[in-house]
Amino acid sequence: MKYEKVAVGGTFDYMHDGHKAILSKAYEIGERVQVGIVSDQKNLEKDSAGIRPLDKRLAELKEFLKKQEWLKRTEIEVISDPFGPAVESKKLEAIVVSEETRQGAEKINEIRSERDLDPLDIVEIPLVLADDGRPVSSIRIRYDEIDVHGNIKKDERKISDYG
């Protein structure tokens, strides 16, 4: 393990393969992992319309972490802004992101710099792609385009063959 304490955050709506990949990387490189899970507040930048209630998302997250035997190495914090404790924790050393969330980590480092804190190492994982080559996301799952593994649910070709 490379770091004492690593951060990762998100809505964790529909525990999909992208979430599992980012969490796996965090536990691979960190002894302890601080997981920020977005609260039920809807004033965040990301499309939060339709996100499942916090209690359901939190239960699914904890169940996944327990199955992986990672729960004992975890600190879960409900966050109500895009940065959470990552902008103030002196113990954090790195943050795991995807290509889509890298900008947020860079902003966190700007704020940390303003507060005379060391920047976090940014560890970027590749996006997990669905069968159609587009990223797996909770929004796509919510709209029933794909399942949590990125398998296509609506086959547009079949629909157009009969049109």
How far apart CA 72 and CA 70 sit, in angstroms, is 6
* pLDDT tens by residue, 34-65: 999 999 875 555 555 688 999 999 999 999 99
| pTM for this entry | 0.89
Domain count, the chain: 1
Return the pLDDT at 136: 97
In a domain, 147, yes or no: no
Reported as a single tens digit per residue, the pLDDT across 8-29 is: 999 999 999 999 999 999 999 9
Domain membership of residue 19 (yes or no) is yes
Domain that holds residue 79: 3-130
State the SS3 of 20-69.
HHHHHHHHHHEEEEEEEEECCCCCCCCCCCCCCCHHHHHHHHHHHHHHCC
pLDDT in tens, 77-124: 999 988 999 999 999 999 999 999 999 999 999 999 999 999 999 999
